[in-house]
Amino acid sequence: MQWRERVLDPQLASQWSGQAVHPLMARLWALRGVSTPSAMDTDLKHMLPPLMLKGMAQAAADLAQALCDRARLVIVADYDCDGATACAVGMRGLKALGAHNVQAVVPDRARDGYGLTPEIAQRVKALGADWLITVDNGIASVEGVDHARALGLRVLITDHHLPGDTLPEADHLINPNQPGCPYPSKHLSGVGVMFNLLVATRAVLRESGQWPSAMAASARLDPLLPLVALGTVADLVRLDEHNRRLVHQGLARIRQGIMPAGLKALFEVSGRPYSDASASDLGFSLGPRINAAGRLSDMRMGIECLTQDDPVQARALAEQLDAINRQRRDLQADMSESALALVQPSLTGAPPPAVCVFHPDFHEGVVGIVAARLKEAWHRPSFVFAANANEPQQLRGSGRSIAGFHLRDALDLVAKRHPGLLIRFGGHAMAAGCTIQRSGLDDFARALADIAQQTLCAEDLEQQLLHDGSLPAEWLNLHTAQHLRDQVWGQGFAEPVFCDPVRVREQRIVGDKHLRLQVTLHGQPLNAIWFGRTDPLPEDCHIAYALDLNTWQGQTRLQLRVLDAQSLAHG
């Protein structure tokens, strides 16, 4: 792995000079392209106006009227955490605004596939719906929307995925990535889009003075922010200025215990204290437990947990999700081992520019996680396929990418170069999925590798660790670690990583797979942990590390989380 220090833009550095901000934070923010302190202001008054979203004004006006007319609404969700939180936010928010009848339909990953299909539209109509509202899907559902409208349903699409060549002819389409949308945050999550719709609809109701119910006039939407934060972090959207604000506001409420009962129960079963919740808790502890339901069971369980207000029932649902997640981890470990074994024999030198594997025993609900494991192992765009349970001659695949390779655009190019090879596809820059004929697997693998070969240079294919340089000794303390923990770090706004020489005083293996260390850094003895590492380190080395907190028996101490190490000869 190559280490590369972030380069500080002199102009940004000068803009932060003299600001009433901790000098370390000013440097870290400037290194991440933040130009002014106002960009780090987390107050909701700086939230982008929802009406900046194309089509929002008319959609909110019509939805407000539908609420006043006591229309029957059905939300069609997606089966990942973003879709589940968007559905829960939609159901909770619409009820708070006075909706009399709100239901949800959640597609089954294996039976229905992704998005709004004609069959799902038929299911919605059978529920007696007047309105069909999608969350985190719909932008590619041309046939499903046509069928829903032919059935007499009003269709409102809320989505954030990249559109294809043809947009669905819905009554309303809200998506920051649709052509001509001026909304500056193109990285808004599905749950973020739904939250914006609710805010805009409430504003219409307030201005008109026509509320569907007496309670709706006093309804608050900010209690939904913990769910918005969870979906935003779990979906790995870029944490731009606007998304960081939403996540920060959600975490602030979580730390105060202001959240749905189901969310609190998920913290409890994951063993994470909500009083000092961080974005990583949402991404690595809560998000996987919600996602597990959609991968191996039924996402309705995850949505029910997030919409549950009774603590006892919420805890029971959270425990079920926790059990499914343990099952998912076991399955993932087995599949990852098999996938790595499938790739290894083909490697006579460097890995190919893109990796693609299939095994008939793979579970399609876990292929995305296994693709991420391959990506981490080989630092290549990776696709993992499983058999389509409904169509034995088809394969469903999920991919994960590396910096410099836009995976959804690559799939679009595959489709254009090889007409008919892809049955359907969609996704983002770093994660995407597709369905192909089983007979087309080798052609797909070659096509993806060809595009990767043409797109990526040798430097792109070398795994790099971006770091923030040395941490000055005066900031190596518990206070700094706590201050960093309270910030929102994540996708596109990376957690600070520092590099310094250390002396390793003691080291031992814990839990069979982690390296526990005692080191001396800047003359200070500290505990350190390297997760997933068992090989010992030399006595003197450079380490790349993040500041961490370790709480044990009521005491919180500074700890280093080691990410990589090099012998001093490197430096």
**Considering the domain boundaries, does residue 137 fall inside one?**
yes
Structure confidence at residue 42 (pLDDT): 93
Ranges assigned E (strand) in 69-192: 72-76, 101-105, 131-135, 154-158, 172-174
Residues 393-407 have a mean pLDDT of 95
Please check whether residues 318 and 442 belong to one and the same domain: no
**Considering the domain boundaries, does residue 43 fall inside one?**
no
Assign residue 369 the CATH number of its domain.
Answer: 3.10.310.30
Which SS3 state, helix, strand or coil, does residue 163 take? coil
Please check whether residues 155 and 239 belong to one and the same domain: yes
Please check whether residues 261 and 402 belong to one and the same domain: no
State yes or no: pLDDT of 496 exceeds 70.
yes
Contact predicate 153/131, CB 8 Å: yes
Q: How far apart are CA 385 and CA 483, in angstroms?
A: 42
Give residue 359's domain range.
347-455
Please check whether residues 313 and 373 belong to one and the same domain: no
pLDDT in tens, 197-224: 999 999 999 999 999 998 899 999 999 9
Structure confidence at residue 271 (pLDDT): 94
Assign residue 493 the CATH number of its domain.
Answer: 2.40.50.460
Q: Which of 423, 455, 487 is the last residue of a domain?
A: 455
Question: 372-389 burial string, b = 16+ CB within 10 Å, else e?
Answer: bbbbebbbbbbbbbbbbe
Assign residue 102 the CATH number of its domain.
Answer: 3.90.1640.30
pLDDT-derived band at 303 (thresholds 50, 70, 90) equals very high
State yes or no: pLDDT of 346 exceeds 80.
no
Going by the DSSP 8-state scheme, the letter that residue 263 receives in this structure is H
State yes or no: pLDDT of 517 exceeds 80.
yes
Closest among 569, 560, 557, 509 to 536, alpha carbons compared:
509
Please check whether residues 359 and 305 belong to one and the same domain: no
When divided into structural domains, the chain yields a total of 3
Please check whether residues 388 and 258 belong to one and the same domain: no
Please check whether residues 429 and 497 belong to one and the same domain: no
**Considering the domain boundaries, does residue 264 fall inside one?**
yes
Q: Which of 455, 479, 500 is the last residue of a domain?
A: 455
Please check whether residues 155 and 287 belong to one and the same domain: yes
Q: How far apart are CA 192 and CA 134, in angstroms?
A: 13
**Considering the domain boundaries, does residue 258 fall inside one?**
yes
**Considering the domain boundaries, does residue 41 fall inside one?**
no
Edge-to-edge strand list for the sheet holding 422-427: 355-358, 382-387, 394-400, 431-437, 422-427
Closest among 179, 175, 207 to 188, alpha carbons compared:
175
Please check whether residues 472 and 449 belong to one and the same domain: no
Please check whether residues 405 and 299 belong to one and the same domain: no
Please check whether residues 184 and 315 belong to one and the same domain: yes
Q: Partners of 527 in the beta sheet?
A: 518, 559
129 alpha carbon, distance to own chain's centre: 30
Please check whether residues 514 and 392 belong to one and the same domain: no
Contact predicate 228/246, CB 8 Å: yes
